[in-house]
Amino acid sequence: MSSSELSVDLAAKAYNLLQEDANKIAKLIEVQMDTLTNRRCPLYEEVLDTQMYGLSREIDFAVRAGLIVESDGKAILAALERNLAKLYEALNYKKEQQS
């Protein structure tokens, strides 16, 4: 395997691993969206914040190591941030409906 092929292989593996971690966070958000039971649960928010921070650090490392391009990393985070925004909008809507 040439060094070029190895670089491409490592980049693909890095991207796939980051996407797997992003999918786990997306699943947490999806479960919460499906139930909408824990109105602004501090523990749940802490878990999501910690997971998002960890993923952002993983992405930063992968970018700095030259394994992925910065725009790909930003796209992964942006998709999750949009999902989080939808979750918080839904939670706020539910709260307003209950008032």
Residue by residue, pLDDT tens for the chain (99 residues) are 788 888 889 999 999 999 999 999 999 988 888 776 555 667 777 888 899 999 999 999 999 999 999 999 999 999 999 998 888 888 777 777 776
pLDDT at residue 38 in the model: 55
Structural domains of the chain in order of their starting residue, each with its CATH number: 3-98 (1.10.287.750)
- CA distance between the termini of the chain: 64
What's the angle, vertex CA 73, arms to CA 69 and CA 78, rounded to 5?
A: 140
By the 8 A CB rule, do 9 and 67 touch? no
SS3 36: coil
